[in-house]
A and B are shown apart, each in its own frame.
Chain A
Amino acid sequence: MDNTVSSTTDRRKPGRISRSAVDQALAGYLFVLPAFVSLVVFLLGPIVYSFYISFFHFSFLDPQNASFAGFDNYLHLFVDPVFLQALGNTFIYTIGVVPIQTAVALLLAVIVNRIRGKTFFRIAYYLPTVTSTVAVAVMFIFIFNPNGLLNSFLSLFGIQGPNYFNDPTLALPAVMSVAIWSSVGQFMIFYLAGLQDISDEVYEAAAIDGASGFRLLWSITMPLLRRTTFLVVVMGMIGAFQVFDTVYVISNGNGGPIGSTMTVVLDLFNKAFKDMQMGYASAMAFVLFAIILIFTLLQNWLLGRED
Chain B
Amino acid sequence: MKKSQKWMALTATFALGTTILAGCSTTPTSAAAPVRKASAPIHLTVGMWSSSPAEHSLVESQVKLFEKQNPNIKVSVRVINGNYLQVLQPMLASHTAPDIFYLDSSVAPQLEASGALMNLDQYIKRDHVNLSDFNPHLLSAFKWKGSYYGVPKDFNSLALEYNKSLMAKAGIKTPPATWQQLQQDAVKLKAKHIAPLSMPVDVARYYPFVLDFGGNYFNPNTNQATFPNPKNRAGLGYFMNMVENGSIVQPNALNGASWAGQAFAENKVAMVAEGAWLLPFMQQTAPKLQYGISRFPSYNGKSYNMLYTVSYSMAAATKYPAQAAKLLFFMTGPAAEKLTAQSGLAIPSRSSEQKYFLKQNPSYAAFVAGGKDAVPYQFGTLGQNFVDAINNATLAGILKKQSPSVVLSSATKTLSSQSNY
B384 touching A245, Cβ below 8 Å: no
* Given A61-B92, A146-B253, CB of A276 within 8 Å of CB of B110: yes
B256 touching A147, Cβ below 8 Å: yes
Interface 9-residue window, one of A78-86, A96-104, A177-185, A230-238? A78-86
Can you spell out 26 A-B residue pairs with CB atoms less than 8 angstroms apart? Answer: A57-B420, A57-B421, A59-B114, A60-B89, A63-B93, A80-B421, A82-B388, A82-B417, A82-B418, A146-B252, A146-B253, A146-B256, A147-B256, A163-B252, A165-B252, A166-B250, A166-B256, A244-B1, A245-B1, A252-B258, A258-B396, A258-B399, A269-B2, A274-B384, A275-B385, A275-B418
Number of interface residues of B (CB under 8 A): 35
Residues of A within 8 A of B (CB): 57, 59-63, 65, 72-73, 76, 79-82, 141, 145-148, 163, 165-166, 168, 244-245, 248, 252, 254, 256-259, 269-271, 273-277, 279-280
Complex contacts, A254 vs chain B, CB 8 Å: 388, 391
Complex contacts, A61 vs chain B, CB 8 Å: 89, 92-93, 110-111, 114-116
Q: CA–CA, A120 to B233, complex, Å?
A: 62
Within the complex, what minimum Cβ distance (angstroms) separates A306 from chain B?
36
Main secondary structure of the interface of A (DSSP, over half): loop
B92 touching A79, Cβ below 8 Å: no
Residues of B within 8 A of A (CB): 1-2, 83, 85-86, 89-90, 92-93, 110-111, 114-116, 250, 252-253, 255-256, 258, 383-385, 388, 391-392, 395-396, 399, 413-414, 417-418, 420-421
Complex contacts, B252 vs chain A, CB 8 Å: 146, 163, 165-166
B392 touching A276, Cβ below 8 Å: no
Given contacts A146-B252, A258-B399, 15 further A-B contacts (CB under 8 A): A61-B93, A61-B110, A61-B111, A63-B93, A80-B417, A82-B417, A82-B418, A145-B256, A254-B388, A256-B391, A258-B395, A270-B388, A275-B383, A277-B421, A280-B421
Q: By CB atoms of chain A within 10 A, which of B83, B116, B250, B388 has the most?
A: B388
* Given A60-B93, A82-B417, CB of A274 within 8 Å of CB of B383: yes
A81 touching B384, Cβ below 8 Å: no
Complex contacts, A257 vs chain B, CB 8 Å: 395, 399
Complex contacts, B89 vs chain A, CB 8 Å: 60-61, 273, 276
Please give me the residue from chain B that is nearest to A72 by CB atom: B421
B116 touching A259, Cβ below 8 Å: no
B1 touching A80, Cβ below 8 Å: no
Complex contacts, A59 vs chain B, CB 8 Å: 114
